[in-house]
Structure 1
Amino acid sequence: MARCSPPLLRRFFCCAAKSASATSAAASTKKKNIVFLGSPQVAASVLDTLLAASSSPDSAFQVAAVVTQPPAAKNRGRKLLPSAVAQLALERGFPGDLIFTPERAGEESFLSDLKGVRPELCVTAAYGNILPQRFLDIPPCGTINIHPSLLPLYRGAAPVQRALQDGVAETGVSLAYTVRALDAGPVIACERFSVDEFIKFECTIILLVWCLSVRED
């Protein structure tokens, strides 16, 4: 698997723009709509980076909607609280009516809302819900997943924990197209880094997000 320099999502959009058919000058400068899907804190870190990047005048994309798990009962009071991704989106001033929280990604009302956003691409990071084919058929550029391993290694759940348990010398983050089979789509790009024998799990997660969105050539 070739080593690819981040920011990976920016690279992806640049490549997509070059390969797209020519349109009018006005259309070529219009930002592409993406929809982000994620739920836990590590996904919120990715969303934060995407929102910051999309605010740049020369950004190729804008975050048009956010999809996350519904509010869940947490803590001793069992109070319903939004996911970390929903909290981050609201803190950043993202419109609440564009934060979708379906129980299942195949719900008709949700799919209708998603179509209304007209996403060019969907990006997932630890969303925690199976995406049906009807969902995958909506964005013309497909859906890509941010997976914290060097695919095809460590497909599925807990890839960071499993890699550290195996004592691997390096790990990384991959961008791959989402297909119906788990983490089996074509890999678009990856970023590698060495694993120090004393590195902690939380530090690894931070490094993965950093590799994805912060480092420059």
Structure 2
Amino acid sequence: MTKILFMGRKKVSAALLEFLSAQSGIEIVGVLTDSHLQGSPTAAAAKRLGLPLYTFDTALEAIRAGRLKYDLGLSVLYWRKLRDEFLTAPARGTINFHPAILPEYKGTGGYNLAIMDGLSEWGISAHYIDDSIDTGDLIEVVRFAMNPDTATAQSLERESMQHLEQFAKRLIMQAVESETKLPAFPNIGGGYTSRAEMEAMKEIRPGDDVGRKIRAFWFPPYDGAYIEIGGRKYTLIDRRILEEVAPKDSTSLFAGSADA
């Protein structure tokens, strides 16, 4: 029996919890998620499955007290940096599924940069967690085609989650069946983008490819690419995105014309 501490958020984590709970030989001993937010799909799945919910601090306290013991940690879009006993407690380590290509794209803003950089493929990386961010040894990177001239951050995230779910199911089962850590290789090089740096990229500046930047940061309800007028930020949208978000049965005599 492999005991797992699961850390994650969003619908993909809820789906993985459902999957893992149905597997023989796995016991989910705890779940860390965004349970402080109303409507958390992962928290709802944990409650439905009767799994114990922890906060970062209560889990750390339980590990230190010996009440929370596990063999393998899993991190799926978990936003807190793990430290202390989270790094040392599991004999088989903690695997993080990072929604970007490593080692090239560490930190945040991966979807945005993939579009801004004009990449023709994107990917999901699995790596062991160490005491920094997205720097632990790499286990595997799966890649898939993308079109940087039509993708938005929102559409790329949606496609990435589909690949992440299938990749995570396969790799987690490999880790469960292994008595030791999976083979991994150094995660060297690349660049790190902080949240502050990512937010600063959103401002439209002279010389920018405005259409590409709009798509690169289109991810409602978050602020997108913007201009600033009178000290206020205004998110921009282009015609193609406007048509995508419009009600399917809507019509206009003037949509797309110069006077629209």
TM-score grouping bracket, smaller chain normalisation: 0.5 to 0.7
User: What are the equivalent positions in structure 2 for 1:26-41 lying under 5 Å apart?
Assistant: 30=1, 32-39=2-9, 41=10
Distance 1:168 1:127 in 2: 25
Does 2:91 match 1:145?
no
CA contact (8 A) 1:173 1:190 kept: yes
CA contact (8 A) 1:54 1:63 kept: yes
1:93-113 CA-partner distances (Å, limit 9, x unpaired): 1226x11123x47x7524347
SS at match of 2:18: helix
SS at match of 2:106: coil
Distance 2:64 2:46 in 1: 21
| Structure of higher RCO (CA pairs closer than 8 Å, 6+ residues apart) | 1
Q: 1:82 to 1:118 in 2, by over 3 A?
A: farther
Q: 1:99 to 1:68 in 2, by over 3 A?
A: same
What residue number does 1:64 align with? 29
For structure 2, the residue ranges without an aligned partner over 5 or more in a row are: 171-260
SS at match of 2:150: coil
For structure 1, the residue ranges without an aligned partner over 5 or more in a row are: 1-29, 73-80
What residue number does 2:130 align with? 179
SS at match of 2:107: coil
Q: 1:82 to 1:134 in 2, by over 3 A?
A: farther
1:125 offset after TM fit, Å?
1.9
What residue number does 1:49 align with? 16
What residue number does 1:199 align with? 151
Q: 1:213 to 1:35 in 2, by over 3 A?
A: same
1:43-73 CA-partner distances (Å, limit 9, x unpaired): x31331242244144xx5343211124514x
CA contact (8 A) 1:100 1:110 kept: no
SS at match of 1:198: coil
The count of corresponding residues between Structure 1 and Structure 2 is 168
Q: Which of residues 36, 46, 50 in structure 2 aligns to 1:95?
A: 50
SS at match of 1:181: coil
Q: 1:195 to 1:108 in 2, by over 3 A?
A: closer
What amino acid sits opposite 2:159 in the alignment? L
